[in-house]
Amino acid sequence: MTAQLYTNARLIDPEARTDSLGALLVRDGRIVASGPEVAVPEDAQPIDCGGKCLAPGIVDIGVKVCEPGERHKESYRSAGLAAAAGGVTTMVTRPDTVPTIDSPETLEFVTRRANEAAPVNVLPMAALTKGREGREMTEIGFLMDAGAVAFTDCDHIVQNTKVFSRALTYARSLGALVIAHPQEPGLSAGACVTSGKFASLRGLPAVSPMAERMGLDRDIAFLEMTGARYHADQITTARALPALERARKNGLDITAGVSIHHLTLNELDVADYRTFFKVKPPLRSEDDRLAVIDAIHTGLIDIISSMHTPQDEESKRLPFEEAASGAVALETLLPAAMRLYHGEHLDLPTLFAALSLNPARRLGLDCGRLAPGAPADLVLFDPDVPFVLDRATLQSKSRNTPFDGQRMQGRVLATYVAGNPVYRRT
């Protein structure tokens, strides 16, 4: 049978911004129809969703998979299994590997590995400059031909303004998307928390929220000069939001994202130097967290991502200043996002616009929707089921999650890629 009919489903449609009961028909891996009443073909295989939520699969921009070079931290197989268990149907992977993904040959290698090992879609990004060193731009055209969907040096800021302007100009001529990490590198160097009373009490090196604002202002000036397509990977402070809003009103081609950790945690969660809460940029104040949530609600910030960054035990079991930054989040992305739903900050269509629709649109993909013709990349989940997270049960090789032992609400029940089940909760 090539047709599946998902019945008794609570359809979360981020494009129509609706949350309603209905059915969804899939044939040959594509959505045929959805709504309260769907004509049932004779060959359709019925799948009873039991009144649970059926939404477009998550498109996660900024996933780190540690192949090549650090496969002990995360492989495409383990990351793919974690993604499927978390309702992520498309991983957009970062180039900050060892070696850096900055050549067509390296890109082709990781693409082949991903296609062999991962049960979900994998789209690679490539570095903007060679070795992410900020000295010489990569061969953007050749890398696009090899399959790169965007270009980023991740948390390495290109400080040479001439190199950055040339790279943006060249990317603009090819229609390439550049993803940057807004941060003033001098101010943020060596910092591991956000400046304030808490940082002073803990005696930790801190960075002002203005460093993010200053980095964004600089990048916006480059966009005015070059007209490039630009995405800020993480906007995490209230100070940066007015600059982002002005850039939008001025017609610049700019979008912005934020990690799930900055939406659901704040600087006080570091508590007694808990290194699983050390991320980059550092966790912010509660006022910043609420301001960024409001920016998701209004659409000023477009995308929510996991910023999945595996680190092994040896990298995290260190004094806070010395510990590596980052947290795994492919499996915890959806349950953590349900905190925003149950806290009545965001409704489910708005959440899935940021998790699925907007990242797909920014990358020019046709997924992230429940519309006829879209690929049947779907997640079935129960937003209400409670559980206590045990990091030992995670699919990732690295288990550096800040949510270990926390009470959470919302479970993925099944994940489908092109209509094929890649995960079912048993």
CA 215 remoteness from chain centre: 21
Give alpha helix (H) positions in 317-387. 333-342, 348-352, 358-362
Hey, is 422 helix, strand or coil?
A: strand
pLDDT confidence of residue 1: 53
Return the closest-CA partner of residue 94 out of 183, 158, 175, 179: 179
Which pTM value belongs to this model?
0.95
Average pLDDT over residues 388-396: 96
Burial of 364 (0-12, 13-18, 19+ CB in 10 A): exposed
pLDDT per position as a tens digit, 35-69: 888 888 888 899 999 999 999 999 999 999 999 88
Contact criterion met (CB below 8 Å) for 392 and 386: no
Query: What is the token pair recorded at 13?
Result: 């449609």
Residue 8 has pLDDT above 80, yes or no: yes
Question: Which residues lie across from 380 on neighbouring strands?
Answer: 54, 414
**47 neighbors 56 (Cβ within 8 angstroms):** no
Of residues 190 and 334, more confidently modeled: 334
3-class DSSP state of 337:
helix
* Residues 234 and 282: beta-carbon distance below 8 Å: no
Q: Is 8 left (phi over 0), alpha (psi -120 to 50) or beta?
A: left
Q: Residue 219: its pLDDT value, please? A: 98
How does the average pLDDT of the chain come out, rounded?
A: 96
**pLDDT for the residue 426:** 81
Chain segment 25-44, per-residue pLDDT in tens: 999 999 999 988 888 888 88
User: Per residue in 62-109, pLDDT tens?
Assistant: 999 999 889 999 999 999 999 999 999 999 999 999 999 999 999 999
Lowest-confidence region among 159-173, 189-203, 362-376, 383-397? 189-203
The DSSP code sequence of 203-241 is T--EE-THHHHHHHHHHHHHHHHH--EEEES----GGGH
Distances, alpha carbon 353 to alpha carbons 57, 138, 162, in Å: 11, 32, 36
